[in-house]
Chains A and B, each alone.
Chain A
């Protein structure tokens, strides 16, 4: 039943039990996934507002575009690979055989860590080249946006590390299936966010 239809019914005329055990209008998925979806929307708002601020600030006269280091392409590759591994882990968790689950799930996280290390290295290189945070608003935004993205990724890695420990200490993939599912969704989201940020940063 669509949301619109749902909120137009005359509920005082509808007596008796409506719907099954799942209440009418509830999403047909786990509450954790609903919560994560909402959180992703919230995070999208955060990144959108940063981006809008970026574009508004860009219009002002003191803006000098920053040439993004080429290493970002490599970092992007790491994050893409990380996402692919998570997707693979998700496929495995949904299948009958647990083969390769550790490689996929833990590998995905490790690649994400490498991505963060890569981002830190670019920060260091920029600093060495004299592109300090305060020298220009474009630089400030570069550090800010990559930093906020990195913090979101660190949050994901925290959940990932808990699940990884369980996986390594012998939990069945089925037990952490939900966790794998959520991590995968989150990683894809952060990949998309990064690709958008990267596109904006390198085209302006």
Chain B
């Protein structure tokens, strides 16, 4: 009796919840309204079945509850009724399946003239490649992957020379132009998902998969990875900007081609050295770091990391509210006039002799190791050396007190949340693996043993 009422209420409640729920599909930004339509058809068919069958069941439970002197009716089967219900169900299934298959056929067949671009995923970031003037993407293979050629583009393939490479998690697409995304992975399975585009597909190492869509709404949308790809899965983010063709073309023209990235002149170390004098005040003449000046050790850090951080300071990505030391650094970075100057500086710093920084932090090394191995080593490596591949800087032998302040800043949201800090949000999330200052110091103490 009570159950009949509850089931009745649950049916009503579910329907009410459905209509009252604020959680529903995001606004669609691609020409896949047919997918949404299929979902609505399915919703109406299944919703009707849900309501009817459950209400009928609730009615039965109420109507045929045990009563004195009442006896159940003996009826082993009713083939006609069962066949009728089966046919009825079959019709319902066809009503859902037919439009589904029809739309799937559209999804499978890419329209002529769809512009191609490539999405390359790796642990745990996105990169993108657009064909150059020749309209062709050059051949690529993981065998060619290196720090200077993260896409693994075959250097011998003429088609690849003019490919536009975007080694950055933000991509652009032209509005109202059907595009076909070619999906590749350098390591594990990933999944290229933009909720507003409705379609998604796995990126599988060893093969190229695809999706196509026609962006219909200008805007900036998040790219999420939706295939478990390791510990950094949940922080593997990117974004896609849909904009009118002219703006898109302008953006594309500003990106380097593969050939340009390969033929970049070597940095001028001497020029970097000349400008380093200013840095030495806080970071020491050998880049060894001076804690009293809040200048962390620089020597031993990879050039690509130093370079990126200098840019961030210069552009105000780092050194924002709450980051007192960073605010001191920001004007210093302005001294470096252009990207070339930043490169020269980073290259010079990478030549400085690397002696491990003095240890200033102590803590529970075992606990630190436990946390480090489980959560940090995936990117910063077991030995704390870091690697360009995961965009993880070196930790071993660097200033431990600086590590503590930076992790604290990540945890407090002071560092890493700036829109242009491409890899900062990963650290904001991963830093939660350390519960409090004590655990941060434990990890710092463990990193001190890696030298």
Interface residues of B in 151-189 (CB under 8 A from A): none
Q: Which B residues fall within an 8 A CB radius of A?
A: 76-77, 206
CB distance from B184 to the nearest CB of A (A): 16
Please, which residues of chain B bring their CB within 8 A of the CB of A60?
206
CB distance from B38 to the nearest CB of A (A): 32
Please, which residues of chain A bring their CB within 8 A of the CB of B77?
10
State whether the Cβ of A4 lies closer than 8 Å to any Cβ in chain B: no
Compute the total of residue contacts between A and B using a CB distance below 8 Å: 4
CB distance from A61 to the nearest CB of B (A): 10
Q: Which A residues fall within an 8 A CB radius of B?
A: 10, 12, 60
**Main secondary structure on B side of the interface with A:** loop
Please report the C-alpha to C-alpha distance between residue A60 and residue B204 in the assembled complex, in whole angstroms: 14
Please, which residues of chain B bring their CB within 8 A of the CB of A10?
76-77
Question: Which 4 residue pairs of A and B lie closest in terms of their CB atoms, listed nearest first?
Answer: A12-B76, A10-B76, A10-B77, A60-B206
CB distance from B3 to the nearest CB of A (A): 29
Which residue in chain B gives the minimum CB-CB distance to A62?
B206
Which residue in chain B gives the minimum CB-CB distance to A13?
B76
A-B contact pairs, 4 of them (CB 8 A): A10-B76, A10-B77, A12-B76, A60-B206
Please report the C-alpha to C-alpha distance between residue A60 and residue B76 in the assembled complex, in whole angstroms: 56
CB distance from B82 to the nearest CB of A (A): 13
Please, which residues of chain A bring their CB within 8 A of the CB of B206?
60
CB distance from A204 to the nearest CB of B (A): 21
Please, which residues of chain A bring their CB within 8 A of the CB of B76?
10, 12
Please report the C-alpha to C-alpha distance between residue A12 and residue B75 in the assembled complex, in whole angstroms: 10
Please report the C-alpha to C-alpha distance between residue A34 and residue B253 in the assembled complex, in whole angstroms: 73
Which residue in chain B gives the minimum CB-CB distance to A12?
B76
Please, which residues of chain B bring their CB within 8 A of the CB of A12?
76
Please report the C-alpha to C-alpha distance between residue A179 and residue B145 in the assembled complex, in whole angstroms: 60
Please report the C-alpha to C-alpha distance between residue A169 and residue B137 in the assembled complex, in whole angstroms: 76
Which residue in chain A gives the minimum CB-CB distance to B74?
A12
Please report the C-alpha to C-alpha distance between residue A10 and residue B206 in the assembled complex, in whole angstroms: 56
Which residue in chain A gives the minimum CB-CB distance to B206?
A60
Please report the C-alpha to C-alpha distance between residue A132 and residue B275 in the assembled complex, in whole angstroms: 57
Please report the C-alpha to C-alpha distance between residue A189 and residue B159 in the assembled complex, in whole angstroms: 55
Please report the C-alpha to C-alpha distance between residue A10 and residue B78 in the assembled complex, in whole angstroms: 12
